[in-house]
Amino acid sequence: MTDLPAAPARFKDLCLDAVDHQSLADWWCAALGYVRRGSPDGTEPPADWPVPVVDPDGAGPLIWFNQVSEPKTTKNRMHLDVTGDPERLLALGATLLRRPDEDIHWHILADPEGNEFCVFAPTE
């Protein structure tokens, strides 16, 4: 076996910018079953600090929600793909952008701040 050099980078976390990062963090926690990660020292960080959320089972990536002053104005260049129930996500406050059709077999939704994401049916 050949020893290959280590990759120049490794995936660490996912970060999403949001005008109301506190609310968007809570929305994604409800959508994914994530929870807010407490601070290492147990203190409450300032409200404008990034909000980290984690999968309580440890299966998914750490997601950071960063406060920005400008709203989203164009299509995402990167987006999340999730497995789930689009109707439940719509009931939580997502917006339907596109239903499955002859070209795609998944739903395209947007979170409350307009970030697009794809929803695939669970596989058994």
Q: How far is residue 24's CA from residue 98's CA, in Å, rounded to a whole number?
A: 21
Tell me how far CA of residue 13 lies from CA of 52, 62, 91, in angstroms: 10, 5, 27
**pTM score > 0.75 for this model?**
yes
To the nearest 10°, report the CA torsion of 34, 73, 19, 38.
Answer: 30
Higher pLDDT, 62 or 41: 62
Task: Specify whether 65 is located in the same domain as 16.
Answer: yes
Read off the pLDDT of residues 88-108 as tens digits, 9 standing for 90 and up: 999 999 999 999 999 999 999
Task: Specify whether 33 is located in the same domain as 83.
Answer: no
Task: Specify whether 20 is located in the same domain as 63.
Answer: yes
Q: CATH number of the domain that 80 lies in?
A: 3.10.180.10
Q: How far is residue 26's CA from residue 33's CA, in Å, rounded to a whole number?
A: 10
Report the amino acid identity of residue 99.
R
Task: Specify whether 63 is located in the same domain as 95.
Answer: no
Per-residue pLDDT at 31 exceeds 70: yes
Task: Specify whether 79 is located in the same domain as 59.
Answer: no
pLDDT at 91: 98
pLDDT at 32: 97
pLDDT at 3: 72
Structural domain containing residue 97: 72-124
DSSP string, 86-97: HHHHHHHT-EEE
Q: Is residue 7 part of a domain?
A: no
**How many domains in the chain?**
2
Q: Is residue 65 part of a domain?
A: yes
Task: Specify whether 66 is located in the same domain as 81.
Answer: no
pLDDT at 112: 97
Rounded percentage of the chain residues whose pLDDT exceeds 90: 80
Q: Is residue 2 part of a domain?
A: no
Report the amino acid identity of residue 6.
A
pLDDT at 124: 53
- The mean pLDDT value for 43-60 works out to 93
Q: CATH number of the domain that 48 lies in?
A: 3.30.720.120
